[in-house]
Amino acid sequence: MIFRLSQKLNTKIKAGRLESIPADENLLADWSAHLFSVDRAQYILLSNTRTLYSVVFPGKGITNDRLLIGEAMSSLRDFLRADNLEFVYHQFITPATASVSFAKALDRST
């Protein structure tokens, strides 16, 4: 699974230098994440890099990569369940979490 972090989110969780890596072959294992604020509260927008299916969850308390992965997976599962797509989470996303990488965002032309 690939998490493509915005510079702002990478700075917050201190994931280190991000490399540019190609898109994952499994289109449901490639996600882009961005940190933003509303009324001084932090949120994270997690979007599938190809389909743009998106979830938003609070960014408060997320201070490292382990916490980001845990909250992202939990929120993604909850949103997919609410959309009656929980089988997608279990069949395609859960197996991809065996290996997690952080990367730069893809070039917008790809």
- Residue 37 main-chain phi, psi, to 5 deg: -125, 145
The pTM of this model reads 0.89
- Residue 101 main-chain phi, psi, to 5 deg: -125, 150
Tell me the pLDDT tens digit for each residue of 41-65.
999 999 999 999 999 999 999 999 9
pLDDT band at 106 (very low <50, low <70, confident <90, very high): confident
Return d(Cα 86, Cα 16) in angstroms, integer: 32
Tell me the pLDDT tens digit for each residue of 5-14.
999 999 999 9
Contact 56, 32 (CB under 8 A): no
Return d(Cα 108, Cα 110) in angstroms, integer: 6
Task: Using alpha carbons, select from 29, 37, 31 the residue that is nearest to residue 8.
Answer: 37
In sequence order, the 6+-apart residues with CB closer than 8 A to the CB of 8 are 34, 35, 36
